[in-house]
Structure 1
Amino acid sequence: MPGQHSYRTTVTWTGNTGAGTGTYRGYGRDHEVRAEGLPPLLGTADPAFRGTADRWNPEQLLLASLAQCHMLTYLALCALGGVVVTGYADDADGTMTEDGSGGGRFTEAVLHPRVEVASADDVARAQELHAEAHKKCFIANSVNFPVRHEPVVTVRGA
């Protein structure tokens, strides 16, 4: 039976250097993302937008969410379908384009899952399940830009 799930996070700006947002260059973009019972996630803006490179930015988090959701959906489908996955990693890429007015949007994300399966008999099915995982991924179904997949499936020990 379908259900509804609610999520809560708190984002707190920690970049006030003493003068608030008195000038565009005068404040930090640092912030913390928190959820009950979890360690804080240190965030900032992309360095192109005056953030620092030592913290997560929203663009990275969006891309990570897409990759995580696809992986978790895919692994569940494999487990339910009898495909034994022994390894999974994804080096995802995303493209965001500025619109010239201070805004912009993601225009594409490409996931590059590298999947290792236990048996050569599972390679074809393991490859096919990426399409089904994409159709069921909550995050991919929530974005308004294409999310492509370029999976590679190998056999453990081969």
Structure 2
Amino acid sequence: MTTHTYASALRWAGRTQGYDSYSRQHDITMSDTTMAVSADAAFRGDAALPNPEQFVVAAASSCQLLSFLAVAALAGVEVLEYNDAAEGVMPDDLRPMRLTAIVLRPRIVVRGATVERVQRLLNKAHEQCYIANSLTTEVTIEPVIEVL
């Protein structure tokens, strides 16, 4: 049996002198790529930088794409385009606060398949998506499928 491991490194430096004053900016390194990250602006972060909640939504979106491309390729369906406008929802009146829903809205262009077949492949990919399977947050898909 193979166990896959995934690593990231995080670095923050500064001073905490009360909740309002410390910097939320930190650096995350994954696969030799370092990016500046912050908290959501609603939590005194920098709105110009990505935040952890966005990473969770992006991970679910990316995993769905990669799972779909795999099942489509194995099924002989030619995928020409896949664009997603994913959204995560985190109500601030729920305790503990958490993402309660992630909605993936892929627009998919294929050749050589019916809309129904592509929908079945999307569902199969969703069932196999490692990230969606790892989350307690509900992940749903609202696709727009175009067949050429």
2: CA distance between counterparts of 1:52 and 1:78? Answer: 39
Equivalent residue number for residue 22 of structure 1: 17
SS state at 1:73 partner: helix
Q: CA deviation at 1:99?
A: 4.4
2: CA distance between counterparts of 1:50 and 1:3? Answer: 41
Unaligned runs of 5+ in 2: none
* Residue 130 in structure 1 maps to residue 130 in structure 2: no
Q: CA deviation at 1:26?
A: 1.4
1: CA distance between counterparts of 2:59 and 2:125? Answer: 14
* Residue 109 in structure 1 maps to residue 108 in structure 2: no
TM-score, with length taken from structure 2: 0.93
The equivalent position to 1:34 in structure 2, one of 29, 37, 43, is 29
Letter matched to residue 144 of structure 1: T
Question: How many residues matched?
Answer: 148
* Residue 145 in structure 1 maps to residue 140 in structure 2: no
2: CA distance between counterparts of 1:100 and 1:66? Answer: 22
1: CA distance between counterparts of 2:47 and 2:101? Answer: 22
2: CA distance between counterparts of 1:4 and 1:105? Answer: 28
1: CA distance between counterparts of 2:122 and 2:94? Answer: 35
**Bigger Cα displacement from structure 2, 90-99 vs 42-51:** 90-99
Q: Indicate the percent of aligned positions where both proteins have the same amino acid.
A: 39
Equivalent residue number for residue 71 of structure 1: 65
Per-residue deviation, residues 100-135 of structure 1 (Å, max 9, x unmatched): 66x40111111001100023x343211211111111
Runs of 4+ in 1 over 3 A off after TM superposition: none
Equivalent residue number for residue 4 of structure 2: 5
CA contact under 8 A between 1:78 and 1:84: conserved in structure 2?
yes
The equivalent position to 2:50 in structure 1, one of 56, 63, 66, is 56
Q: CA deviation at 1:155?
A: 2.3
TM-score, with length taken from structure 1: 0.87
Letter matched to residue 11 of structure 2: T
1: CA distance between counterparts of 2:140 and 2:63? Answer: 14
1: CA distance between counterparts of 2:30 and 2:140? Answer: 30
